[in-house]
Amino acid sequence: MQILFGETLRRLRREKNLTQEQLSARLNVSFQTISKWERDESYPDITMLPVLASFFGVTTDDLLGVNEAENERKIQEMMDRYLHPKNITFITSEEMPEYLAPLKELVKHNPGDYRLWVFYFGLLCSLNRDTVETLRARLPEIRSVYEMIIENCTNDALRMEAKSTICTYYNDLVHKGQDPRERAELLAIVDELPTMFDSREYTRTNIHSPKTDEEQIADCHEAIEETLDMLCSMVWNLGSAMDDGPASVEHLRSMFGIYDAAFPDGDYGKAHDKIYHSHTFLTVKLAQAGEFDGAFAALRRLVEIARRFEALPQVSAHTSPLLRGVVFDKGAAWPGCTDWHMVENIRRFLHEEQGAYCSMEPWWPEEFKADPRFGEILSSVS
């Protein structure tokens, strides 16, 4: 059983508008004792619990935070269930109301938990992006929940998450519906978002005191990982816009250059997935352009990346200078995944099987498949 005594005591004290010194005087204990209780560094004698409960007008279970702990456990179980990849696969428009019903019920019983509201809102915006009709069918509820979060939530991080989420939804809607009014709504919300220089990651790296060197290093590492991912996504999107499809060969190579400069040891960590799938697009683009030497070089690199990733232990540490010592956990990077079959996926990719992570069908020119090098690489992954 989890106890949240310190957090509960602090909340109850503040609800009565009492300082630690004022509460200590009422209870005839030192304010240092109150401070330790609120930090969960020590706990009151068992005979003190009824006194505290009576003073605040709550039960001892409420005082210990037992009910809150149990409620938090239920919330976390529900969120874990919805985050599991297997539970969000192939949800249709007809299935969505039933799928979201348990979560919606939990939200109703925790109306002040905006973390839960934003989680529900994210699922509501992201599921079943199939047709413009089904997207617009959810628009009234999406707008209602969004406005409630923006007007009532005092946590800026959650409010910004809701703004980013609705932008993703509107982007898909505008792409499929081409409605200028919806496009204007999207751009208006985008303009409300903070700049990169106002971001949490950038600001943290520029604050030194009173942080320790270890805390500063950790903040810089986190910001570098996020910035690399964001920068490479921008390069991909730039190439896609200029090439009217998956990123161009030049932009893909630029993206790989960024990652290789940051990870000269090839310890890509969370970036493995993006690098792996981007190499599939590069290989197909080069093959379709008749640049077979480049295509086979990219394909061999793809196999090398896959084998290196599969050989990694579940938990490893970066050795490249920018992120040296940062722990990479496969399970934490992709929750719910326990099997890593990248090499097997390459075999499926070469056979042009569905689900092999490439949308550029048909993938291989007949001359490319007839090249002896194709057979050699296929044999190496079969």
- Domain assignment of residue 76, yes or no: no
Sign of CA dihedral 22, 25, 26, 32: positive
- Domain assignment of residue 347, yes or no: yes
In sequence order, the β-bridge partners of residue 328 are: 316
Please tell me whether residues 39 and 170 are part of one structural domain.
no
For residue 104, CA distances in Å to 125, 151, 298 come to: 14, 20, 47
| Helices 96-109 and 66-83, packing angle to 10 deg | 160
Each residue's pLDDT, cut to its tens digit, for the chain (382 residues) gives 456 788 788 888 888 888 888 998 888 888 888 888 888 888 888 888 888 888 888 888 777 766 666 667 777 777 777 766 555 555 667 777 888 888 888 887 777 788 889 988 988 887 655 788 888 888 899 999 999 999 988 889 899 999 999 998 998 888 888 889 989 999 999 999 999 998 888 998 988 777 888 889 999 999 999 999 999 999 988 988 887 667 789 999 999 999 999 999 999 998 998 898 899 889 999 999 999 999 999 999 999 999 999 888 889 999 999 999 999 998 776 655 555 688 888 888 888 875 545 555 668 999 999 999 999 999 998 8
| Burial class of 297 by CB neighbour count within 10 A (0 to 12, 13 to 18, 19+) | middle
In sequence order, the β-bridge partners of residue 317 are: 327
Please tell me whether residues 355 and 208 are part of one structural domain.
yes
Cis peptide before 321 (omega within 30 of 0): no
Answer yes or no: are the C-beta atoms of 120 and 103 closer than 8 Å.
yes
Please tell me whether residues 228 and 178 are part of one structural domain.
no
Rounded Cα distance between 368 and 298, Å, is 14
- Domain assignment of residue 364, yes or no: yes
Please tell me whether residues 140 and 26 are part of one structural domain.
no
Strands 327-329 and 315-317: antiparallel
Please tell me whether residues 24 and 96 are part of one structural domain.
no
Residues in the chain: 382
Cis peptide before 362 (omega within 30 of 0): yes
Answer yes or no: are the C-beta atoms of 26 and 51 closer than 8 Å.
no
Tokens 């040891």, located at residue? 265
Q: Helix, strand, or coil here: 382?
A: coil
**Count of the separate structural domains present in the chain:** 3
- Domain assignment of residue 363, yes or no: yes
Instruction: Specify the CATH number for the domain of residue 35.
Output: 1.10.260.40
Last residue of a domain, one of 161, 193, 225: 193
Q: How far apart are the first and last CA of the chain?
A: 50
- Domain assignment of residue 70, yes or no: no
- Domain assignment of residue 334, given as a range: 204-381
Please tell me whether residues 183 and 220 are part of one structural domain.
no
- Domain assignment of residue 182, yes or no: yes
Rounded Cα distance between 356 and 236, Å, is 20
